[in-house]
Each structure stands twice: as structure tokens, then as C-alpha cells.
């Protein structure tokens, strides 16, 4: 058996974590041969709830789970970790935009960025889930200058999964028959879910998604709006934000980062630095990526960007610039 890797999940007493921890602990993310030491961070008032989660993990009797460390202490939580899944933050309620959470949440990611910088392994892979996820990831990365910026990401895989599922339902096919659906920009209602480069396999035959769907009005209106507003629709119905689907998306994101994607293209929020699509530098922007077995990612280049797409890619970029400036002034203030 390999040495255990140390995986931190924050917000561990919350909703998403309750769906996520079992999948990680049973090997769905890091593979069936990789023992895991799970570190669970939440705030002090949640320690009793967190102890209940720890008891349940123990009662699952999972062979890969070498130990579980519940804590409210960042210094202990971030010590020597290999992976950080930063979920802990306030979720939005009905009627809010995700950026309305900036004031409440950005300070959490400042503090955790500093903790990453001080205590984590320099190879740590970080995914930020707590909203507004892109800008929180940016702040964490800025506060951790000794960790490579390429080790920071934010979750837009839930949006990608939502896009794939919408196309699959439209065509009556399985969601794995939908490839290269791309999420550009912010995990917010300005994100641009893009099918222009997507392919679908129908009755064993692969073709362009646009040709198979044959409904440009749906692609440019209903589809985009549904994916952009899906989080809000779930909150309206459940009175709570997406948790099961978010946990599934976190597993997809981290598994692909850990093992690589081959030729498959996935969307992840990463720091924009000199990218092929002219997106402003210094924001965490969701791009189509491929990931190597060495866990380094490359932005998929050479995609043709229409005027329609350009306008949408710029709109979500501009929102991220605005969020970044607000977040920096909150952090510095
Ligand atoms: P939740 O309220 O059920 O759980 C959040 C947990 O975080 C709570 O237990 C809380 O005590 C804890 N927490 C708060 N501050 C903390 C801190 N400083 N350190 C550690 N833990 C802390 O919320 P949830 O439904 O699990 O959602 C968590 C976050 O994920 C929200 O911000 C939500 O908007 C976001 N989210 C993002 C996506 C995405 O796709 N990026 C999807 C769904 C939800
Ligand atoms: C989601 O997309 O479901 C989450 O980001 C929660 C939210 O606020 O919409």
C-alpha cells in the first residue's frame, strides 16, 4: 500500500461535505489503491456536528481511510496537506447573486491563503468551491505567494456537468456522449456555457453538437440561460444550494486533475496569464483545459471565437475584474 495522502476539506460539517466525504474516503477521487488521511476543518461552533460526521465516516469502515482529523484550527488543518478542497463559506440564499457573498467570504480565503502559504506542501493542489469561487480562489492564491499559481483552481465543473446534462436531455442521449461543452469565465450568472466546439455521439455516430441539435435559438437562449441560472433554480426549489451535484463535480474536477484527462477537455477556473483568447490577466477565469499525467494543465488553443462568443467571454471577464477589485479592497481595508 502507498503512503496516505493528506486531503483537507473545509466546511466539513456543511451540506456539500456531507455528500463529498464518503466518495473521497472510498477511493472515487484518488483511486482504489491510495490511502487517505482526511483533515476536516470547520468553525468552533460546528465541532459537535463535525464529530457526528467523523463517527459516520468511522462507521463506514472504509479500508482506504487511514485517519480522520477534525479541527477548528487552521494551523493544524493546513499542515503538510497534499490537496485542499476549500468548501467552507456562507452559501447564498434566494434573491442573492454569488458576488453578494464577497464581503462575508473573501476574508476566509485570505486567512486560508496565508495558512496554505505557511503550512501546506508547496505541491498542494487547491480547488475553491465556496462562492464567489473564482474570486475567492484568486485571493487565496495571492495570499500564498510561495505556492505556484498553477496549483490554484476554482470549481466550474458543476456548470460543465449541467451543460452536458442539458444537451443529453435535449437529444435523448447519455451525458457521457456529450464532449467539449465549455464553460468560460465566472461561476456566476454571466458565465458563458459554449456548445460551438462540442460534439455528441448519437447512435454510435459522432457529430458536432450544433448540427445534431439543429436549434440555434435553443443553443443561444434557453440553454445558456438554464445553465447560468441553474444554481438559483435549485436554491428556489430546495431553499438550500446544490450539494449532491456540487460534491459530484468536485470529485470529477479533482480526479481529472490527479490522474490527467488525456485528450478530453474539461473546464476549470484558473489564473489567466497570457492565454490564447486575449482574456485579461490576473483573474481566475474558467477555460477549457487538458491535464497531463504530471498534473499540469494546458488551455485548449485554436478554438474559433465568433463575435457572439467574444461578447459573452468579455462580459464575464469584466465581472471578474470588478469582483477582483472589490475583493482586493476588502482584503486590504
Ligand atoms: P453550508 O452552509 O451547508 O456549509 C458551509 C460550512 O462551512 C458550514 O459548516 C460552516 O460552518 C463552514 N465554514 C464557515 N466558515 C468557515 C471557515 N472559516 N473555515 C471552515 N469552515 C467554515 O454550505 P454548503 O452548501 O456546503 O456550501 C458551501 C459553499 O459552496 C457556499 O459558499 C456555496 O455557495 C458554495 N457552492 C459552490 C458551488 C460551485 O459550483 N462552485 C456549488 C455549490 C455551492
Ligand atoms: C451552484 O451553482 O449551485 C452554487 O454555486 C450555489 C449557488 O449559489 O448557486
What whole-number distance in Å separates Cα of residue 292 and Cα of residue 129? 23
Q: Flag whether pLDDT at 42 surpasses 80.
A: yes
pLDDT band at residue 332, thresholds of 50, 70 and 90?
confident
CATH class of 157-327: alpha beta
Name the residues annotated as catalytic.
187
Using a 6 Å CB cutoff, which residues line ligand 2? 91-92, 98, 131, 158, 231-232, 234-235, 241-242
Find the 12 Cα to ligand 1 centroid distance in Å: 8
Q: Which atom of ligand 1 is nearest to the CA of 92?
A: 34
Find the 122 Cα to ligand 2 centroid distance in Å: 30
Q: Flag whether pLDDT at 99 surpasses 90.
A: no
Q: Flag whether pLDDT at 149 surpasses 80.
A: yes
Per-residue model confidence (pLDDT) at position 274: 86
pLDDT tens digit string along 255-271?
A: 999 999 999 999 999 99
pLDDT tens digit string along 1-35?
A: 799 999 999 999 999 999 999 999 999 999 999 99
Q: Where are the domains of the chain?
A: 5-154, 157-327
Per-residue model confidence (pLDDT) at position 93: 85
- What is the average pLDDT across 75-102? 93
What whole-number distance in Å separates Cα of residue 282 and Cα of residue 74? 27
Per-residue model confidence (pLDDT) at position 48: 98
Find the 242 Cα to ligand 2 centroid distance in Å: 6
- Please give the CATH topology (third level) of the domain spanning 5-154: Rossmann fold (3.40.50)
Most ligand 2 atoms within 8 A of CB, residue of 246, 247, 253, 267 to mutate: 246
Per-residue model confidence (pLDDT) at position 311: 98
Residue nearest to atom 2 of ligand 2 (CA): 231
CB atoms closer than 10 angstroms to residue 3: 9
Q: CATH topology of 5-154 equal to that of 157-327?
A: no
Per-residue model confidence (pLDDT) at position 281: 97
Helix (H) or strand (E) segment spanning residue 290: strand 284-291
Q: Flag whether pLDDT at 275 surpasses 90.
A: no
Amino acid at each position: 500500500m502507498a503512503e496516505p495522502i493528506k486531503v483537507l476539506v473545509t466546511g466539513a460539517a456543511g451540506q456539500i461535505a456531507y455528500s463529498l466525504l464518503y466518495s473521497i474516503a472510498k477511493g472515487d477521487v484518488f483511486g482504489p489503491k491510495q490511502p487517505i488521511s482526511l483533515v476536516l476543518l470547520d468553525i468552533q461552533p460546528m465541532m459537535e456536528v463535525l464529530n457526528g460526521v467523523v463517527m459516520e465516516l468511522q462507521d463506514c469502515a472504509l479500508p482506504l481511510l487511514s485517519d480522520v482529523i477534525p479541527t477548528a484550527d487552521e494551523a493544524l488543518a493546513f499542515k503538510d496537506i497534499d490537496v485542499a478542497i476549500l468548501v467552507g463559506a456562507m452559501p447564498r440564499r434566494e434573491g442573492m447573486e454569488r458576488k453578494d457573498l464577497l464581503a462575508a467570504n473573501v476574508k476566509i480565503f485570505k486567512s486560508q491563503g496565508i495558512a496554505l502559504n505557511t503550512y501546506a506542501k508547496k505541491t498542494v493542489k487547491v480547488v475553491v468551491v465556496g462562492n464567489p469561487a473564482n474570486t475567492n480562489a484568486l485571493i487565496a492564491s495571492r495570499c500564498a505567494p510561495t505556492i505556484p499559481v498553477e496549483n490554484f483552481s476554482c470549481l466550474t465543473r458543476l456548470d460543465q456537468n449541467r451543460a452536458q446534462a442539458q444537451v443529453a436531455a435535449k437529444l435523448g442521449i447519455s451525458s457521457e456522449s456529450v464532449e467539449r461543452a465549455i464553460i468560460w469565465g465566472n461561476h456566476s450568472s454571466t458565465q458563458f456555457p459554449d456548445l460551438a466546439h462540442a460534439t455528441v455521439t448519437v447512435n454510435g455516430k459522432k457529430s458536432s453538437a450544433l448540427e445534431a441539435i439543429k436549434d440555434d435559438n435553443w443553443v443561444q437562449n434557453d440553454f445558456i440561460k438554464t445553465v447560468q441560472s441553474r444554481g438559483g433554480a435549485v436554491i428556489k426549489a430546495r431553499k438550500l444550494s446544490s450539494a449532491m451535484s456540487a460534491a459530484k463535480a468536485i470529485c470529477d474536477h479533482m480526479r481529472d486533475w490527479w490522474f490527467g484527462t488525456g485528450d478530453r477537455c474539461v473546464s476549470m477556473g484558473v489564473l489567466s496569464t497570457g492565454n490564447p483568447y486575449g482574456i485579461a490577466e490576473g483573474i481566475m477565469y474558467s477555460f477549457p483545459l487538458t491535464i497531463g499525467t504530471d498534473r499540469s494543465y494546458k488551455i485548449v488553443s485554436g478554438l474559433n471565437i465568433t463575435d457572439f462568443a467574444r461578447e459573452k467571454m468579455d462580459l464575464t471577464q469584466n465581472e471578474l475584474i470588478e469582483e477582483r477589485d472589490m475583493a482586493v479592497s476588502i482584503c486590504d481595508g
